[in-house]
Amino acid sequence: MTIIPFHDRDGHIWFDGALVPWREAQVHVLTHGLHYASCVFEGERIYNGVIFKSHEHSLRLRRSAELMGFDIPYSAEEIDAAKREVCKAAGLRDGYLRPVAWRGSEMMGVAAQANKIHLAVACWEWPSYFTPEARMKGISLEIARWRRPAPDTAPTEAKAAGLYMICTISKHEAERNGRQDALMLDYRGYVAEATGANFFMVKDGVIHTPIPDCFLDGLTRRTIIDLAKRRGYSVVERHFTLDEVKDASEIFLTGSAAEVTPVSRIGDWTFTPGDVCRTMIADYSDLVHGRLNTAAAA
């Protein structure tokens, strides 16, 4: 498979207020965001030319920046407009969108109060991870050795670049071991999330999902909870350990990139994706493609 590197593509990126040629959207090697992870971002899907939950993502981007101690010099509405502009320029009907904000290179050191805050938005074609048939086979997870940090040790409510360091390490280790992803526990030993998606399990017809008190409360997570309740499922948000997971009848992950992805294996335990997974996949697909009343996922 030919890999097209992200720095060498055709098209345009919205960069600090204007569309610039893709290859010219550059930052200096001494930018603070690279050295000290003073960077926040969003991952969003585009369906039929519409950015799903665009404004909620823009609000969360600004909130993440506030938690990191800086202010993005654009309102949520201006960020929404920038996203629409870059999608229009790309002529993209379906794909993925990445807004990112970071501290620049005016000062180099832990303190960087005078650094300019930059904002860029890029989009590209990125189909769903799996076809519906392949998705229902489920993916395989291993248990990560790294844990999500406590909320008094990191800004865990932010979608911040630095918080993904242990996710990359964990996912790479899982892939080297023949798995697709890793399941991360939190600092207390409770089940938390996968490396880039929230976690759900089904037991006795009830859907359970961890309380997001030290990891991101995903917008897709909230959407699935709303869709499940609309279907009449009971959804319980609570803390639970791995011991409870082994007895689950179904496991699935949710996220903007992952959408709804069933899990067939965690460590040595196996699971069979079934009716709940199939229903959530279908309802989510109907919602994002405009076939379901959006009030269900307000």
| Environment class of 192 (CB within 10 Å of its CB; exposed 0-12, middle 13-18, buried 19+) | buried
Strands (DSSP E) contained in 68-127 are 95-103, 117-124
Q: Which of 180, 234, 243 is CA-nearest to residue 205? A: 234
pLDDT grade for 298, boundaries at 50, 70 and 90: very low
Each domain of the chain, given as residue ranges in start order, spans 12-124, 132-292
CB 190 within 8 A of CB 259: no
Determine what percent of the chain is predicted with pLDDT higher than 90. 92
CA distances from 1 to 4, 24, 222 (A): 10, 26, 35
- CATH topology for the 132-292 domain: D-amino Acid Aminotransferase; Chain A, domain 2 (3.20.10)
Q: Does domain 12-124 have CATH number 3.30.470.10?
A: yes
**3-class SS of residue 115:** coil
Q: Using the predicted structure, report yes or no on whether residue 294 has a pLDDT greater than 60.
A: no
Catalytic position from the list 53, 83, 159, 171: 159
Give the residue-averaged pLDDT of 201-213. 97
32-41, 133-142, 195-204: which has the minimum mean pLDDT?
133-142
Three-state secondary-structure class, residue 13: strand
- What mean pLDDT do residues 135-147 have? 94
The pLDDT of residue 295: 46
Please enumerate in sequence order all residues whose Cβ is within 8 A of that of 33, keeping only pairs 6 or more positions apart, or say none: 27, 39, 102, 103, 104, 118, 161
pLDDT at 131: 64
Query: Is a pLDDT exceeding 70 seen at residue 20?
Result: yes
How far is residue 49's CA from residue 107's CA, in Å, rounded to a whole number? 39
pLDDT band at 132 (very low <50, low <70, confident <90, very high): low
The first and second tokens of residue 237, run together, are: 């948000």
pLDDT at 135 (0 to 100): 80
- Whether residue 134 is predicted with pLDDT greater than 90 in this model: the reply is no
Q: Is 159 a catalytic residue?
A: yes
| Average pLDDT of span 93-102 | 96
Locate 283 and state its tokens: 């309802």
- Taking 70 as the threshold, does the pLDDT of residue 8 lie above it? yes
What pLDDT does 296 receive? 43
Residue 243, pLDDT > 60, answer yes
Could you tell me if 237 and 231 are in contact, meaning their C-beta atoms sit under 8 angstroms apart? no
Quote the longest CA-to-CA distance of the chain.
57
Q: Kindly indicate the confidence band of residue 136, based on its pLDDT and cuts at 50, 70 and 90.
A: confident
Taking only the tens place, the pLDDT of each residue in 65-83 is 999 999 999 999 999 999 9
For residue 30, what is the DSSP state? T
pLDDT of residue 130: 65
Among 259, 294, 256, CA closest to 41:
256
Please answer whether residues 160 and 64 qualify as being in contact, where contact means their C-beta atoms are separated by less than 8 angstroms: yes
Q: Do 12-124 and 132-292 have matching folds?
A: no
Give the pLDDT score at 127.
79
pTM across the whole model? 0.94
